[in-house]
């Protein structure tokens, strides 16, 4: 008789597959016990995401999920929708194998609305019954509610069970322009939101300020500005959480009014700071203050697009670089790269650029940052070539280094690597002690299937020789 792992052991194993939907689905089909355990994890977050150019990632739901929710509706809701002509007798007769809606810990108001619009002409009554059903379930962990044409304008916070359903809410993503009454009502129900993401679209209501102020342990804050919204009125509500905030992300597409960014200097317990600004002059307000700011716990610092004045940033690294584990900047300034080598010895992950005559600076970083495990950079004809990067990594990279990711400029239709370059690298890598498997990723590279096949064939050749190298291609959208 085959040995069956206890349910609690299976549950702990399946938790590691939470983001691997395909594997979880396979687990459903093994036997009833596996199905009962894995289905709860699979339905915890049923929304998939698709990337957009900037700002939040748009969610998408499979229409069959809506049909499953309909089967989960209580009988009185089904009867009501049948009388309204929204559902037919076949739809209301179906019963689900599980109460899938009770497993959902993540809810997107907009995507429920969009899916209903896609399938049904009259979506208001169906949306109301579905939201009533959710409010009667066990507690929600994450809520997404944005203002767009498909927003369900229902006062669902007043439905029976809403208080219990939202009391343990820990993550909220929303836009500032949804009805202010929602913010006020939520502030009375949910006071333990740890992660808050807000898209600003002109309006900042007093009720939004109340919601922010009412939280007891706000840790993660993401602010996204799509226009010239004045943030100054909301800053006191943000600064109130300076003792608990450990992660801050700011995304600015427009120029900020003076005084809106200075609050950053007061968040001295930050462990992660991501400033995604469109233009360098967006940093003008805080450039002069950078050299004096100290974040004793800062571990992650990212400037994915624009960046501050180099001289000021170097002084900032002098004060804060020692504890940095991850640094990301889209700059090829040599003095800054040398400062990274000098002031950031404990980096694990680094993204920066090197001009094509600065291979020695790259070697200095590899020798100085002995904890480095991952390096990402951009390649074009003005920057270091793939061959130079691979050669330096094989000879000078720290013992724990294992990952190189290259992003190619749009006008480089193919990688400049030739097969000989890829042959030399694994040979040199094999002589390392200890030898680690190596992950080499090229993004936006070749459009030639022949070139891809050549590289993959080379990788397979060296795997057979005992050299573990993983070579991945991914193209820009």
Which of 302, 301, 310 is CA-nearest to residue 339? 310
Query: What CATH architecture applies to the domain 246-372?
Result: Alpha-Beta Horseshoe (3.80)
Mean pLDDT, range 80-96, rounded to an integer: 84
pLDDT of amino acid 109: 86
285: confidence class by pLDDT, cuts 50, 70, 90: confident
SS3 label, residue 419: helix
pLDDT tens for 357-396 read 999 999 999 999 999 999 999 888 888 888 888 888 888 8
Give the domain ranges of the chain.
1-42, 246-372, 390-477
Report the sign of the C-alpha dihedral through residues 272, 261, 203, 58, in that order.
Answer: negative
For residue 349, pLDDT beyond 80: yes
User: Is the separation of the CB atoms in 223 and 231 below 8 Å?
Assistant: yes
Q: What is the rounded distance in angstroms from the CA atom of residue 250 to the CA atom of residue 276? A: 6
Nearest in space to 298 (alpha carbons), one of 350, 247, 342, 239: 247
**Cα dihedral 222/226/229/235 (nearest 10):** 10
Each as own residue / partner, the long-range contacts of residues 5-10 (CB below 8 Å, 24 or more positions apart, any chain) are: 7/33, 7/37, 10/34, 10/37
- If DSSP codes are grouped into helix, strand and coil, which group holds residue 144? strand
- How does pLDDT run across 237-268, given as a tens digit for each residue? 999 999 999 999 998 876 555 456 778 888 99
Using a pLDDT cut of 70, give the percent of the chain over it: 83
pLDDT per residue over 23-73, tens digit each?
888 888 888 898 888 899 898 888 764 444 344 444 455 678 888 888 999
Question: Average per-residue pLDDT in the chain?
Answer: 83
Full DSSP string of 19-88 = T-HHHHHHHHTT-HHHHHHHHHHHTT---EEE--SSSSPEEE--HHHHHHHHHHS-HHHHHHHHHTTSS-
Sequence-ordered strand ranges (E) for 340-464: 349-351, 374-379, 403-408, 438-443
- Cβ atoms within 10 Å, residue 288: 11
Element (H, E) at 355: none
pTM of the model: 0.85
Q: Which has the higher per-residue pLDDT, 202 or 207?
A: 207
């Amino acid at each position: 008789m085959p040995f069956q792992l206890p349910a609690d052991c299976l549950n702990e194993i399946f938790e590691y597959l939470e983001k691997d939907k395909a594997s979880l689905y396979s687990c459903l089909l093994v036997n009833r016990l596996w199905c009962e355990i894995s289905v709860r994890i699979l339905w915890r977050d049923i929304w998939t995401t698709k990337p957009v150019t900037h700002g939040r990632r748009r969610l998408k739901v499979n229409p069959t999920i809506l049909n499953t929710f309909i089967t989960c509706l209580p009988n009185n809701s089904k009867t009501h929708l049948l009388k309204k002509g929204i559902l037919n007798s076949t739809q209301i007769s179906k019963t689900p194998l599980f109460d899938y809606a009770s497993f959902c810990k993540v809810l997107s108001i907009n995507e429920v609305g969009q899916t209903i619009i896609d399938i049904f002409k009259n979506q208001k009554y169906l949306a109301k019954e579905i939201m009533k059903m959710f409010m009667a379930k066990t507690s929600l962990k994450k809520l997404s509610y944005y203002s767009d044409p498909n927003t369900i304008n229902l006062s669902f916070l007043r439905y029976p069970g809403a208080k219990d359903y939202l009391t343990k809410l820990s993550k909220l993503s929303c836009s500032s322009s949804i009805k202010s009454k929602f913010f006020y009502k939520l502030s009375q129900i949910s006071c333990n939101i740890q992660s808050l993401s807000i898209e600003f679209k002109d309006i900042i209501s007093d009720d939004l300020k109340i919601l922010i102020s009412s939280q007891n342990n706000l840790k993660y804050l993401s602010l996204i500005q799509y226009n010239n919204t004045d943030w100054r009125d909301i800053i006191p509500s943000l600064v109130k959480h300076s003792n608990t905030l450990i992660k801050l992300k700011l995304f600015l597409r427009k120029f900020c009014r003076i005084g809106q960014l200075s609050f950053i200097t007061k968040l001295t317990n930050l462990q992660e700071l991501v400033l995604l600004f469109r233009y360098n002059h967006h940093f003008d307000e805080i450039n002069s203050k950078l050299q004096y700011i100290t974040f004793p716990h800062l571990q992650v610092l990212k400037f994915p697009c624009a960046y501050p004045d180099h001289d000021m940033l170097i002084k900032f690294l002098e004060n804060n670089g020692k504890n940095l584990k991850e640094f990301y900047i889209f700059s090829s300034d040599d003095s800054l790269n040398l400062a990274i080598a000098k002031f950031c010895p404990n980096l694990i992950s680094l993204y920066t650029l090197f001009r094509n005559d600065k291979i020695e600076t790259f070697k200095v970083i590899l020798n100085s940052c002995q904890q480095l495990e991952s390096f990402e950079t951009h390649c074009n004809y003005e920057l270091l070539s793939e061959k130079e990067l691979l050669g330096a990594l094989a000879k000078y990279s720290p013992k724990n280094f294992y990952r190189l990711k290259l992003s190619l400029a749009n006008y480089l239709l193919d990688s400049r690597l030739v097969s000989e370059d890829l042959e030399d690298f694994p040979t040199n890598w094999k002589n390392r002690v200890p030898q680690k498997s190596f992950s080499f990723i090229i993004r936006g590279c070749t459009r030639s299937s022949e070139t891809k096949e050549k590289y993959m064939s080379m990788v397979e050749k060296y795997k057979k020789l005992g050299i573990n190298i993983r070579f991945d291609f991914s193209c820009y959208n």
